[in-house]
Structure 1
């Protein structure tokens, strides 16, 4: 683990004077804040922010990390790649994603692959995948109608995980989720993400080579994911070499990844590079979107006015049919609901960075080798930038509501050169699903069900999300 040891250091400030270290959160001897982070990292960092301000030091055993909790400081960190880079080879996410765009710290390699991948994820390219997304969405509506009676209790999180995994499977491989379940399943995603997050926050994790039950389970999961992914890549390459067409329909994401070429060398991506981007896309397009949709339905259930408004919008535009691509632009409030859910419950609440050289941040010395945790959960609740930050208000994301806002006050997809390449994919997927499901169902929170967020790599509901699903009736809401 690349780390800064827990000794106070100083670096020259812009004025030439030595800058002090950031204030340090209280912790236990030796362990520091390890136990607090393991119990609830967001709560621990929220308390540190309230006690000490926008830049706080935390000791995790021998490791020191800095929590960053303001748009101003976060913008500085995320846009200055020369001073703040991605975590190095010890980044636990690399155990899952390899050297994909999300994890690669080799700037030249990252730039090469980003340039090649960018055309795949433009708005125009993503629009060609709408039909695949729509098919999965229609199947989800049919599945729920066949499985649940009106008023039945539904785990909305589980259902959102199901449909978003199917969407990514169709867009990536032109096949539904049942064909990929042996490799990439919700259960496999759970094992992998929880494993990586535990290693990210726990400096005492055993080496991956040790034959512990958890290490063995993680390795089994990754073996299944890799065998499936490499197998499909090999089949596609062989078919292309043999001149065999995959069939009708637009190219899927894997087709496009295999076809991209470096503008300077004419070379494509290796099997390993394609594999890494495939797995990265599954993570970005599946769990993160599912989680935010879950929170969106939960938030709507607690705000009758917002619920009625999004229902009225969807009913007016859609009547009794599924959304088309053109319909999305006519349903802006539905997208505002999703964006406000992303503010309150950012799907990836913490963005880690590595300090590459001694620097001063927010008037405090931060030595090279330090880890920074950019805390989007805190930033999205910063009182300088948000009025009544805990209140659910989708109008914050209306054209009028966004005027004058700090550009880094809301950044669920990151910022700077490493802005999430799949942003347009996620927004179109979520907009479609939210509108289609609001048209057919009203989800109501089950009062006895405890709702607690759980921060890992993503921000999940710890106990799922039990809600009653009420089929909407009437001229416009009828199935």
Structure 2
């Protein structure tokens, strides 16, 4: 491995005219892995033809990730083109807002994500898991794609928690709109040149139609809730009701547009991240019978056939370790982008002001300084002793610092309950052993992860 000396970051070798453009387009995650392997923990990656070239600094160490996301987070903003495209498609909610907008939103939303409040959603999560596992029993012997099934489960669970009994009104349009808008955002976010969204190209027109349909269903549900003075069709504890009621003397309350933007962010981040963790956890267990057996034994011993609740999380450490290891190998946020506000030194290397910077859980989670035989699935990497021995940012699937995911306890609660309930009922055998992936707004599978299901004896 080349050792960085001086203050200029080493540059990843690429095409004489196009730099690393083709490599990034064809396999960006593999390109980032190669950059770290060949040049170290801070690497300059140049892509595009002369005149419109883009330069990004890849920061791959745990210490560098901590500096960007936490220690010097004020110097690294969400000002890059990719975040701007997300803003234009999904609004200026917690994921994309900055400065006072972000602080105000965070203060209003934070009380809705206390541990006690989130734990109250356990029964709603369990109800959706029960529905899914009963459907599987009626499906016969055909393999199921666990990534698709966990996406369906996670979307229904977060929609139920957001909308209460209005869940079916949102699931169909969200399930079709998010993948299409996500692909549109990705194409524009990584293109050196884009036509304005207002131009009537086929891609723009299709994205605008999907965008309108998504906004309309959210606005319709929100308007109905506001016109009934925040009264939910259910018990009044769904997240939308709480967002409608959120208010403080300092920050006021959310207007209709702000409500929609928060709802869209929660739908996006709240289902895609959890679906990725759960789907790959099942895929990995299906490939590793010994670890699957150990997880079955823990679930049987702790739960004895009953439905788990929030109070069971601490009693299911191995199930939790399985999920954390799945999030290490397949982090939903595989790459996190920022823009440097001022010139900064990271790992002895100068990053100029205005530079685009990425930290990459996909790479750091495989860094040989922190992970031995990093591609091997081993949930015991996440025993308390093993976690304490590693740097804090050797594993950061939820980001970190002041912009860390506000819903990480919700994601872990849903994931542990769902995985435990599924393991109570089924054994898994892998049909697909390799699942190619690529980064989008979240990590996307480029092929199926089919498993054969064997019902377990009650």
- TM-score by length of structure 2 reads 0.93
C-alpha distance in structure 2 between counterparts of 1:47 and 1:26, whole Å: 10
Segments of 4+ moved more than 4 angstroms: none
Query: Which of these residues, 314, 322, 331, is aligned with residue 346 of structure 1?
Result: 331
Paired residues in the alignment total 448
Give TM-score scaled by structure 1 length. 0.89
Counterpart position of 2:227 = 238
Does the alignment pair 1:376 with 2:367?
no
Is the counterpart of residue 411 in structure 1 residue 396 in structure 2?
Answer: yes
Cα contact 2:156–2:171 (8 A) shared by 1: no
Query: Contact 2:62 / 2:391 at 8 angstroms: preserved in 1?
Result: yes
Partner of 2:235: 249
* 1:248 positional shift: 4.6
Distance, in Å, in 2 between the alignment partners of 1:299 and 1:205 is 39
Q: What SS is found at the alignment partner of 2:398?
A: coil
Structure 1 unpaired stretches of 5+: 1-17
Of the three residues 162, 167, 181, the one matched with 1:172 is 162
What are the residue-to-residue correspondences of 1:137-152 with 2, within 5 Å?
Answer: 137-146=129-138, 148-149=139-140, 151-152=141-142
- Determine the C-alpha separation between the residues in 1 that align with 2:392 and 2:231: 45
Q: 1:463 to 1:358 in 2, by over 3 A?
A: same
Name the CA distance, whole Å, in 1 between partners of 2:21 and 2:204.
Answer: 21
Distance of 2:8 and 2:260 partners within structure 1: 41
The more displaced of 361-370 and 156-165 is: 361-370
Q: In structure 1, what is the Cα distance between the partners aligned to 2:79 and 2:264?
A: 19
Q: SS at 2:165's partner residue? A: coil
Q: Residues 191 and 53 from structure 1, CA distance in 2 versus in 1: closer, same or farther, beyond 3 angstroms?
A: same
Equivalent residue, structure 2, for 1:101 = 94
What's the offset of the Cα at 1:68? 1.1
What SS class does the counterpart of residue 251 from structure 1 fall into? coil
Distance 1:367 1:209 in 2: 33
Structure 1 residues 19 and 219: alpha-carbon distance in aligned structure 2, compared to 1, 3 A threshold? farther
Tell me the equivalent position of 2:435.
451
Give 1:276 shift: 1.1
Encode CA deviations 1:338-367: one digit per residue, 9 max, x unaligned: 011001110110110010112222222211
For the structure 1 residues 120 and 423, does the alpha-carbon distance in structure 2 shift closer, same or farther, using more than 3 Å as the test?
same
Instruction: Label 1:109 to 1:376 Cα distance change in 2 as closer, same or farther (>3 A).
Output: same
| Partners of 2:164 and 2:232 within 8 A in 1 | no
1:312 aligns with 2:303: no
Counterpart-to-counterpart distance in 1, 2:236 and 2:380: 36
Match of 1:435 in 2: 420
Larger CA deviation: 166-175 vs 191-200: 191-200
Aligned CA distance change for structure 1 residues 254 and 383 (closer, same or farther; 3 Å): same
Contact 1:19 1:360 (8 Å CA) reproduced: no
* CA distance 1:213–1:302, change in 2 (3 Å): same
Matched, 1:463 2:441: no
Distance 2:172 2:427 in 1: 33
Out of 195-204 and 271-280, give the one that drifted further: 195-204
Deviation at 1:375, TM superposition (A): 0.7
* Residues 350 and 457 in structure 1, CA contact (< 8 A), matched pair in contact too: no
Aligned residue for 1:329, secondary structure, equals helix
What does the per-residue CA deviation read over 1:61-104, in whole Å, with 9 as the maximum and x for residues that have no partner? Answer: 21111111110111001111321111257622112332111111
Whether the 8 Å CA contact 1:132–1:167 is kept in 2: the answer is: yes
Cα RMSD for the two superposed structures: 1.8
1:72-221 matches, within 5 Å, as 72-79=63-70, 80-88=72-80, 91-105=84-98, 107-146=99-138, 148-149=139-140, 151-175=141-165, 177-185=167-175, 187-221=176-210
What SS does the corresponding residue of 1:442 show, helix, strand or coil?
strand
Q: How far 1:205 moved relative to its partner?
A: 3.8
Residue equivalent to 1:10: none
SS of 1:174 mapped into structure 2? helix
- Measure how far apart 1:39 and its partner are: 0.9
Higher normalized helix content (fraction of residues): 2
| 1:45-73 CA-partner distances (Å, limit 9, x unpaired) | 11111111111111122111111111011
Which residue of the partner structure matches residue 359 of structure 1? 344
8 Å contact 1:351–1:373 — kept in the other structure? yes
Confirm whether residue 228 of structure 1 aligns to residue 217 of structure 2.
yes
Listed one character per residue, the Cα deviations across residues 269-288 of structure 1 (whole Å, up to 9, x for unaligned) are: 12121111111111111111
Residue in structure 1 matched with residue 36 of structure 2 by the alignment: 49
**Contact 2:155 2:171 (8 Å CA) reproduced:** no
Per-residue deviation, 1:19: 5.7
User: How many Å apart are 1:293 and its aligned residue?
Assistant: 1.1
Determine if contact 1:446/1:467 at 8 Å carries over to the other structure: yes
